[in-house]
Amino acid sequence: MMNRKGFTLLEIVIVVAIIALLGVAAIMLLNPMAQIQKTQDSKKVTDLDIIRKALEDFYNDKNCYPTLAQICYLGGDNGSLEDEDGNPYRSCYICGKESQSPTLEPYLNPIPCDPNHPNKKYIYYLPLPSDLDCPNSYKLYSDFNLPNNPTSIDVGCATGGCGVPPFKMGYDYGVTSENVSLDISLHFYCLTDSNSCDNCNAYANCMVRTTCIKTKIYGSFDICCLENPDAVGC
């Protein structure tokens, strides 16, 4: 009888599958932090949706969304809810793990914290001065760990493209009450192949501009320079 030479198609498929699995395992082992950060970013999206549902239930019962005093923790990063002249702020950080954090019982307790708290924090913002005593609108923002998150791009906040006064752009995701919209940057910047931070206005423009490095698109000039301090003009 003649000796069989070569491999069957099934044997080749099995070998390729094993190599692919080993490759995936190697990537996960070599970059576990990226996997952790991806999981944390997914939790941020889930958390803001949970908070949004609680805020809507709160509004349905009370005909107002929570005031800052009802949802913000005191002290720490927030300091006071008023500026030096006694004028009330309209934004604050929220986190149920802080010692002076209120609850939203029975709607939500505790209030979720950013997985990276206190290095990154969820922010609650009342868009209108008339919202201070009985808010009729709100905005919630979060800062992701990884750039170019598809969820961030979908809502228009890619790479720090959203923000609220008095804070600059720098938030990657947000949710709002139905009567308002996210504060989205009108001026996205990209790092170019000549190492400069160039304004291309809309995010989509940066994506099609041939001189832009597609992984280096930012929601403001400040963020572009922060991430690329050696860029021309920074």
pLDDT in tens, 138-169: 999 999 998 878 999 999 998 899 988 655 67
Q: Can you give the pLDDT at residue 233?
A: 86
What is the average pLDDT across 18-46?
Answer: 80
- 38-44 contacts, C-beta under 8 A, 24 or more apart: 38/145, 38/146, 40/115, 40/116, 40/145, 41/144, 41/145, 41/146, 41/149, 41/151, 43/115, 44/114, 44/115, 44/122, 44/142, 44/144, 44/173
Comparing 123-127, 171-175, 219-223, which segment has the lowest mean pLDDT? 219-223
**Which two structure tokens, joined as six digits, stand for 190?**
């990209």
What is the average pLDDT across 116-135?
Answer: 91
Strands 122-125 and 139-142: antiparallel
Q: In the block, which residue shows the tokens 């600059």?
A: 168
CA distances from 187 to 143, 146, 183, 195, 218 (A): 18, 21, 12, 18, 9
CA distances from 49 to 14, 18, 20, 58, 129 (A): 42, 39, 36, 14, 25
Closest CA to 110 of 97, 126, 120: 97
Q: Can you give the pLDDT at residue 1?
A: 47
pLDDT level of residue 33 (50, 70, 90 thresholds): confident
What is the average pLDDT across 174-181?
Answer: 95
Q: What angle do CA 113, 117, 120 make, to 5 degrees?
A: 105
Instruction: Answer with the residue of higher pLDDT: 18 or 205.
Output: 205
Model pTM score: 0.79
Kindly give, in sequence order, each residue whose CB lies less than 8 Å from that of residue 223, ignoring residues fewer than 6 positions away. Answer: 159, 160, 169, 170, 189
Q: Can you give the pLDDT at residue 36?
A: 87
